[in-house]
Amino acid sequence: MCPTRMAKLESAIRIALAFNEAFNRHDIAGMMQLVGEDCIFEAAAPAPDGALYSGKEAISRYWQDFFRRTPHALIKVEEIFGFGNRCIMRWRYEGEDAAGLKGRVRGVDIIKEKDGAISERLSYLKG
């Protein structure tokens, strides 16, 4: 397979990993550079169905609030695989809230890439 075709097959994985690196730095501007204007983000909380955020501005506000509540959030990728414009990322979240309460949870994100940016991110938790 030629390198150009391989690059297209791996694009969603590269974007998902770059987003995760920015997440772990709490770099919201860096995260938003990887999100499309019309992106849909389905957060894993609140239970049981999560919440839906549509558009870059709403998603950015979500992450601002998230990092304010959990200033020590960190996601460790356990496994990632995909094909073309979709990928699945299995992860472990570790964090500590503003009161110092530590927590951990595992989950999975289903990510879709379009035109070099995340167009859809659906998050699910084990719980």
| pLDDT tens digits, one per residue of 48-88 | 899 999 999 999 999 999 999 999 999 999 999 998 899 99
Q: Does the global pTM surpass 0.85?
A: yes
pLDDT of residue 109: 98
In the DSSP assignment, the letter for residue 70 is -
CATH number, domain containing residue 10? 3.10.450.50
User: How far apart are the C-alpha atoms of 21 and 101, rounded to whole Å?
Assistant: 24
Residue type, position 60, single letter: S
77 contact partners, CB below 8 Å, separation of at least 6: 17, 20, 89, 90, 91
User: How far apart are the C-alpha atoms of 11 and 17, rounded to whole Å?
Assistant: 10
Domain of residue 108: give its range.
Answer: 3-125
Cβ atoms within 10 Å of 87's Cβ, excluding its own: 22
The arithmetic mean of pLDDT across residues 22-32, rounded, is 98
Q: Summarize pLDDT for 87-116 with one digit per residue, the tens.
A: 999 999 998 877 888 889 999 999 999 999
Cis bond upstream, residue 48 (ω within 30): yes
Domain tally, the chain = 1
